[in-house]
């Protein structure tokens, strides 16, 4: 039987260059550059480039600077800003917009919309890892207007069509 925790023979994922501007001088001095937390992590951690702690009461939202700007340049890529699951589950800290989409031609600062959907005030400290940045390939759609669709097993079954058990 193969040990599922044993090292894999699968090659590591491809590495894509990503241009980044450091908008906050604490990167490289007080904080490391964004990196992958583990060898199998899919996303880079983003930090709160705050000048002072930010207390978010329940229901509050704020735009938090990441201290970075990126330029993907490749129109075949996009980046997603995603919440950190531990912050969301343990503290109710999620993204105010759910997910942030960064287009390949955007070059401005990365701002993180943070929302406290929890029941207690949560304080974000300068340098805290509060979100993640995931690069994804893009497939563009060429719309094809049709009168009917080829039948599928699901058809037009919508929300909850398969039940819960």
Residues 3-12: tens digit of each pLDDT: 555 666 777 7
Segments of the chain assigned E as strands: 19-22, 44-47, 54-56, 61-71, 77-83, 93-95, 100-102, 109-116, 122-124, 129-137
Q: How many helices (H) and strands (E) does the chain have?
A: 1, 10
45 and 34 Cβ atoms separated by less than 8 Å: yes
Closest by CA position to 51, among listed 34, 69, 65, 37: 65
Query: 19-137 — its CATH code?
Result: 2.70.40.10
Per-residue pLDDT tens for 107-126?
Answer: 999 999 999 999 999 999 99
Closest by CA position to 134, among listed 99, 105, 159, 106: 99
Known binding-site residues equal: 84-86, 97, 101-103
Known binding-site residues for substrate equal: 84-86, 97, 101-103
Q: What is the CA radius of gyration of the chain?
A: 20
138 and 75 Cβ atoms separated by less than 8 Å: yes
pLDDT averaged over consecutive 10-residue blocks of the chain (165 residues)? 62 84 97 92 96 98 98 95 94 93 96 96 98 96 95 80 78
- What are the structure tokens assigned to 152, written together? 């599928």
- Listed by start position, the domains of the chain span 19-137
């Amino acid at each position: 039987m193969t040990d599922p925790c044993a090292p894999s023979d699968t090659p590591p994922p491809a590495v894509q260059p990503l241009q980044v501007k450091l908008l906050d001088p604490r990167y490289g001095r007080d904080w490391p550059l964004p990196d992958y937390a583990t060898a199998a992590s899919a996303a880079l951690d983003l930090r709160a480039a705050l000048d002072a702690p930010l207390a978010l009461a329940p229901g509050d939202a704020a735009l938090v600077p990441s201290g970075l700007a990126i330029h993907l340049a490749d129109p075949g890529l996009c980046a997603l800003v995603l919440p950190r699951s531990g912050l969301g589950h343990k503290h109710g800290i999620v993204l105010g917009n759910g997910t942030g989409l960064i287009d390949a031609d955007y070059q401005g600062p990365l701002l993180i919309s943070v929302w406290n959907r929890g029941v207690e005030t949560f304080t974000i400290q300068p340098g805290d890892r509060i979100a993640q940045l995931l690069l994804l390939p893009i497939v563009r759609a060429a719309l094809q207007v049709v009168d009917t669709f080829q039948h599928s097993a699901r058809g037009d079954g919508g929300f909850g069509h398969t039940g819960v058990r």
